[in-house]
Amino acid sequence: MKTRLPELRDERGLSQADLAADVDVTRQTINAIERGRYDPSLELAFKLADRFDCRIEDVFDPEFE
């Protein structure tokens, strides 16, 4: 799954640790999502989208073929 998390974080000056604290996960979880090694739960995807005040689709692209 593609993600815009790195861009969204950079735009707001957030580190992975800052974002992780905001959504109550570890920095390693954010890193794994950004590297495409972990797909977030629906709950976490909603938290991330809410943190950036956007829709889940604006943060994640499921890459359907």
Domain ranges of the chain: 2-52
Class of domain 2-52: mainly alpha
Tokens representing 34 are 């950004």
pTM: 0.91
Q: Contact 25/38 with Cβ under 8 angstroms?
A: no
Rounded CA-CA distance 52/63 in Å is 21
Average confidence (pLDDT) over 39-63: 95
Q: Contact 6/36 with Cβ under 8 angstroms?
A: no
Res. 65 pLDDT band, cuts 50 70 90: low
Q: What is the pLDDT of residues 33-46, one digit of tens each?
A: 999 999 999 999 99
